[in-house]
């Protein structure tokens, strides 16, 4: 992947990734956190299915490692380091790796699934109100 392609990927996903990353932090998101996440999600114009796969295949494999690490970040993330990790993961997410993470996505999303479900509930309500 060229430098230009990496920049395009960060332009396409970076804001969304960083906005959703707090779902893996130690504290429960507040209503204001969910409201901010919804604003960003809506700017990206993604379906619920697309969001689910971003959660399961792009974010969870990287961010769940932070939770499992003894020295993991539980209060905040270094955004530049996290973006670099997410870009490397996304670049490799093909073939057997994609199949592997699809198979094990239930395990990598288990700790944050309740937060994700809460976010999706808020998102569906916001979309209903907007239509």
User: Tens digit of pLDDT per residue, the chain (131 long)?
Assistant: 788 988 999 999 999 999 999 999 888 999 999 999 999 999 999 999 999 999 999 999 999 887 655 444 555 678 999 999 999 999 999 999 999 999 999 999 999 999 999 999 999 999 999 88
| pLDDT at residue 122, as a whole number | 96
Residue 26 pLDDT: 82
pLDDT at residue number 76: 66
Q: Where are the alpha helices (DSSP H) in 2-131?
A: 3-9, 15-20, 31-44, 48-53, 60-68, 79-92, 95-109, 113-130
Q: pLDDT at position 5, please? A: 87
Per-residue pLDDT, 1: 72
Name the residue range of residue 24's domain. 3-130
How many structural domains compose the chain?
1
Q: What is the pTM of this model?
A: 0.89
Residue 30: how many other CB atoms lie within 10 Å:
10
Given a contact cutoff of 8 angstroms between Cβ atoms, the answer to whether 41 and 16 are in contact is: yes
Contacts of 58 (CB under 8 A, 6+ apart): 13, 17, 86, 89, 90, 93
């Amino acid at each position: 992947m060229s430098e230009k392609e990496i920049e395009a990927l960060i332009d396409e996903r970076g804001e969304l990734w960083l906005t959703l990353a707090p779902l893996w932090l130690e504290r429960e998101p507040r209503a204001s956190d969910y409201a901010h996440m919804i604003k960003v999600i809506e700017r990206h114009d993604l379906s619920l299915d697309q969001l689910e796969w971003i959660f399961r295949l792009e974010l969870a494999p990287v961010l769940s490692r932070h939770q499992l690490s003894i020295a993991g970040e539980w209060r905040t993330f270094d955004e530049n380091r996290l973006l670099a990790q997410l870009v490397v993961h996304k670049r490799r997410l093909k073939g057997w790796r994609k199949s592997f993470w699809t198979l094990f996505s239930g395990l990598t999303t288990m700790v944050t699934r309740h937060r994700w479900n809460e976010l999706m509930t808020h998102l569906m309500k916001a979309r209903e109100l907007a239509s």
